[in-house]
Structure 1
């Protein structure tokens, strides 16, 4: 599997990205516009950015889908090279001290959102430190086992986004270990709570605020971004103690909103973010 992915991405990140951009601009976008991938992205963007015109919505939806294809290529590249080689492509780390500060007597909780390739980000994180990584299993078992092995680099432990996985993270928090998770996806029923995302009702996870309450220190928000065509940056940010309150999930979403708004085309809008709320039941009827 790793060899196959290596061959598929043998062009490298720079050339591969350019080839995707060329293909998208010269016809692929017209095919993408017919897919649910595009329709879901546009529905979410329309819901979130109510102040944008129709042309602005169309443009952002197109740019977002193109960036998502590039992000998928970044994930393939990461899986085909392994975390160590992938981490070499990170050119800049913003506020790295938040991650490297002393953690002997404190756990380290890194929470993120789906900005570009999550596996590109995880590759860097698991190289830095042995981590417990929350993930959602792939439906194809063979591929799921392969990705789990990739995320197990440096003796890291992948755990499913389930009650059992949450229990393991609670154990590791008490043992002062490093936890990494993307907390913007829709959680399983009974594992979340009604909240808001860009002013729209959604079903949100409470795992970050729940884990944060078990810590003496504060968790860290982290994400990967590409400020220009040649630089990959890992960005760390320190939330306030508000993240530990009972409504900390609302504050977490506000943090995500602020970062996503800086460059919204990088965010993965293709997930049915608002689907678990009754009033949004018709949002994704295409």
Structure 2
């Protein structure tokens, strides 16, 4: 990316941050409609993932869900501008409801460490800001190649005290230390990890390479594990935050059991608002035995 392109992108980003979130969602709906009509990779992967995960859903219903999903995908992208650029208090004012708050606060008060799983649904960036307002939090971060974009993201995500650590051994050690101090960490549980950092477990009944990091951290520290999702409230510029407890089996010695519980916790988040999940991500791109079964030519 050239310097001029980077400058233009950041300028556009700052301009978008001035617009109401509700208006940006309207724009996102239009962009999502274009993504559908263009028939590109985003639509193809979304349709394939929905066919994989909801094989019994009537085709017409899956089409409707796919169309809505692409609209929410565009909304997620456009919402980044105000969520990253506006004062934290302004972003927090968009959170109009918090479900499971008592359980979340109880887990924090236990002082034995808290692992928050934030799947790719709704606005996980809002989740991050909200958590940092409640207590000290450390989260893994993989910087982009562009230095200017990297600084933009770092400033946005750490502006209310979040500690960002690298996605390497030193980062894992930092997360472990934070949990041992009774602090909170945030992890994205539904990304495809490297083969050496994961194991296969069912996700919507289909084998998916799943991170073992959460199981290892929970087992070693005894930390509580919860999910957190910031879901869009329809016809508004607001969010509804939902916390849910995850079974202690997420730290089970049986790896398959632990990873299955982890994936089930993500499935439960998806069930809250399937259209807001990031279905265009190639979650099943790696399969047991190294076979390429899905996303052919995508």
Task: Please say whether Structure 1 and Structure 2 have the same fold, judged by a TM-score greater than 0.5.
Answer: yes
Aligned length: 283
| Contact 2:121/2:277 (8 A) holds in 1 | yes
| Contact 1:274/1:280 (8 A) holds in 2 | no
Deviation at 1:282, TM superposition (A): 4.2
Gap runs ≥5 in structure 2: 1-6
Which residue pairs with 1:254 in the alignment? 264
SS for the counterpart of 1:259 is helix
Which residue pairs with 2:184 in the alignment? 178
Deviations 1:24-82 (A, max 9, x none): 55x56413x2x212211111111111112332222211110111101111222211214
2:145 and 2:87 map into 1 onto residues whose CA distance is: 21
2:119 and 2:136 map into 1 onto residues whose CA distance is: 20
Which residue pairs with 1:10 in the alignment? 18
User: Quick check: 194-203 or 156-165, which moved more?
Assistant: 156-165
Of 145, 151, 162, the residue aligned with 1:145 is 151
1:281 and 1:83 map into 2 onto residues whose CA distance is: 43
Distance 1:121 1:284, change over 3 A: farther
2:14 and 2:88 map into 1 onto residues whose CA distance is: 13
Structure with the higher helix share, 1 or 2: 2
Distance 1:161 1:284, change over 3 A: farther
Gap runs ≥5 in structure 1: none
SS for the counterpart of 1:106 is coil
Under a length normalisation based on structure 1, what TM-score does the superposition of the two structures give?
Answer: 0.90
1:191 and 1:81 map into 2 onto residues whose CA distance is: 36
Of 54, 59, 64, the residue aligned with 1:59 is 64
Structure 1 segment 48-127 matched on structure 2, within 5 A: 48-101=53-106, 102-103=108-109, 105-127=111-133
Deviation at 1:254, TM superposition (A): 0.9
User: Quick check: 157-166 or 45-54, which moved more?
Assistant: 157-166
Alignment RMSD, CA only?
A: 2.2
| Contact 2:209/2:284 (8 A) holds in 1 | yes
Deviation at 1:4, TM superposition (A): 4.8
Deviations 1:211-238 (A, max 9, x none): 1113345211111112422241110111
Structure 1 segment 117-266 matched on structure 2, within 5 A: 117-230=123-236, 231-246=238-253, 247-266=257-276
2:30 and 2:173 map into 1 onto residues whose CA distance is: 46
Distance 1:55 1:100, change over 3 A: same
2:56 and 2:42 map into 1 onto residues whose CA distance is: 23
Deviations 1:80-131 (A, max 9, x none): 2143321221001101122222537321221120002221221211222221
Which residue pairs with 2:44 in the alignment? 39
| Contact 1:121/1:234 (8 A) holds in 2 | yes
1:67 and 1:155 map into 2 onto residues whose CA distance is: 28
Deviation at 1:159, TM superposition (A): 1.6
| Contact 1:92/1:233 (8 A) holds in 2 | yes
Under a length normalisation based on structure 2, what TM-score does the superposition of the two structures give?
Answer: 0.87
